[in-house]
Amino acid sequence: MAGKVKWVTDIEKSVLINNFEKRGWVQVAENEDWNFYWMSVQTIRNVFSVETGYRLSDDQIVNHFPNHYELTRKDLMVKNIKRYRKELEKEGSPLAEKDENGKYLYLDFVPVTYMLPADYNLFVEEFRKNPSSTWIMKPCGKAQGKGIFLINKLSQIKKWSRDSKTSSFVSQSTKEAYVISLYINNPLLIGGKKFDLRLYVLVSTYRPLRCYMYKLGFCRFCTVKYTRSTSELDNMFVHLTNVAIQKHGEDYNHIHGGKWTVSNLRLYLESTRGKEVTNKLFDEIHWIIVQSLKAVAPVMNNDKHCFECYGYDIIIDDRLKPWLIEVNASPSLSSSTASDRVLKYGLVSDTLNIAVPGGMVPDCRWNKSPPKEVLGNYEILYDEELAQGDGADRELRTRPSQSLGSKGGRSRDPGRTLSTNWK
C-alpha cells in the first residue's frame, strides 16, 4: 500500500517517538485516521469496550490484545495457569505429572498463591501447615512495587478477614483485590544481593501461538544485601527489585542502575556453576514462558489488529529453579541509564520491524510470520504451526528441562530456537 504510516501514542516516551520519526511516519491526532497506535492499557480498554463499539479497520494496528489482563493481572495469570494444569491433567498429558506428594513435577513454576479476601480460609489452612513461612502480598492491579508488603504472622492479616465483612471493603474490593504468594525466601544471590530477571517477549498471534524472545533482557538488583531476618521484613530495599523502589535507596548507582545484562548473568553462572547447568536454567525459563502463554491462549481475544510486547519477571532460587513472578503489559520504556536507553530504543525498533514489516501502512490480513532478517535481537521462541508440523509429541515424555537442554550432547546458544520441541 502506498502512503506513510500515520501514528498516535498516549505514552510520551522518546524511545517510541524517535523510532516513529526515524521511519518517516507521520504523527496525527487520536481523532484523525491513524494506522498505528502505541497505547496505554487504559486506552486499549476504551478502544475495545462494548460501549464505545469502536471497529478497527484492516490498516490499523495496536500494541495490546483486548484482554491482555488475563496474563498481566496477577490474580488472573495464576487462575489461568491453574486451569491449564487441570486441563493437561484431564488429557493425561505427561507434563501434568505429579510426585508422591501431589506436587507438579514440571508445571510447578508459580509460587503457591491465593486471592484475598476470597481465598482467606484456604490461605489460613496453608499457612498453618508451615507457620514459619513468609508470604508476599500484592495488589492485583498495580505495578512498580506499589502496595506490596511481606507478612510472617497470621495476626498481620487478620484485619483482612475482619474488613472483608464491612461494606466499605466490599465497595472497593474490585479495585483492591490482593494476591498473597509464598515468598521465595531462598533467592539466588550475587554479591549477597537479591535480583530478578526482566525478559521481553513479543506475541504476534495467540491462535496459532507465535512468540519471540528478546535476547537483551537484564537483571535488576536490590541495593541492600539480602537477609531472612524478620527484622528486615519491612525493608523493601532488601526484598523488592523494582527500579521504581530501588532508585530511592542510598546505595543506588545511577550509572549502571543496579542492572546486569542477561549475557553477563550467563557468563557469571557458566563460570560458577558450569555451562550445562546454565543452559538448562535458561531452557527452563523459556519453557515456562511458553507454558504461561499457552495457559492464556484459549481465553485470549486473538484480535488480528493486535500484537503485544510483555515484560516477564523471573526469580531464580538458590537451587537454580526459575519462578514466574508476574507479567507486565506495559513494561517500562523509561531509561534509568544510558545503556537502558539503547536497549529500549532497540527493543521498540525490533518490535516495530516485526509488527509493521517494512514500515509500510499495515494490513492486518498479512501473514504474521516475518522473515528471519527482520527479527533483530528477537529470536523465535515458539511457533505453534511449526511445532505441530514437526511431531512435537515425541519429546514430551522426557522432562522439559532435558528435552529442551543438552540432551543427547546437544548444546545451544542463548535464545536459540527450540520451538519445535515444545508442546
Residue 316: strand pairing partners? 322
A 10 A CB-CB count for 408 gives 7
The DSSP output letter for 244 is H
Q: Give the whole-angstrom CA distance, residue 214 versus residue 379.
A: 7
- Which residue from 94, 95, 93, 120 is spatially nearest to 108, judged by alpha carbons? 95
Q: Residue 174 — pLDDT band, cuts 50, 70, 90?
A: very low
Tell me whether residue 112 is exposed, middle or buried, using C-beta atoms within 10 angstroms of its C-beta: 0 to 12, 13 to 18, 19 or more. middle
- What does the domain layout of the chain look like in residue ranges? 1-72+188-396, 112-155+175-183
pLDDT of 405 reads: 34
Higher pLDDT, 159 or 300: 300
Q: Give the whole-angstrom CA distance, residue 74 versus residue 308.
A: 17
Q: Is the pTM of this model over 0.85?
A: yes
Who contacts 238 (Cβ-Cβ below 8 Å, separation ≥6)? 194, 222, 224, 225, 226, 227, 232
SS3 state of residue 269: helix
Q: Give the whole-angstrom CA distance, residue 36 versus residue 210.
A: 21
What is the per-residue pLDDT across 289-341, written as a single tens digit (0 to 9) for each?
A: 999 999 999 999 999 999 999 999 999 999 999 999 999 998 989 877 788 89
Q: H-type helices in 297-383, by residue range?
A: 338-355
Helix (H) or strand (E) segment spanning residue 417: none
What is the per-residue pLDDT across 264-287, written as a single tens digit (0 to 9) for each?
A: 999 999 999 999 999 999 999 999
Residue 326 near residue 68 (C-beta atoms within 8 A): no
Higher pLDDT, 328 or 256: 328
A 10 A CB-CB count for 63 gives 25
Do the strands 36-38 and 61-62 form a parallel or antiparallel pair, or are they unpaired? parallel
Q: What percent of the chain has pLDDT over 90?
A: 54
pLDDT of 283 reads: 97
State yes or no: pLDDT of 347 exceeds 50.
yes
Higher pLDDT, 414 or 61: 61
State yes or no: pLDDT of 382 exceeds 60.
yes
The DSSP output letter for 274 is -
Who contacts 143 (Cβ-Cβ below 8 Å, separation ≥6)? 328, 330
| Domain 1-72+188-396: homologous superfamily in CATH | ATP-grasp fold, B domain (3.30.470.20)
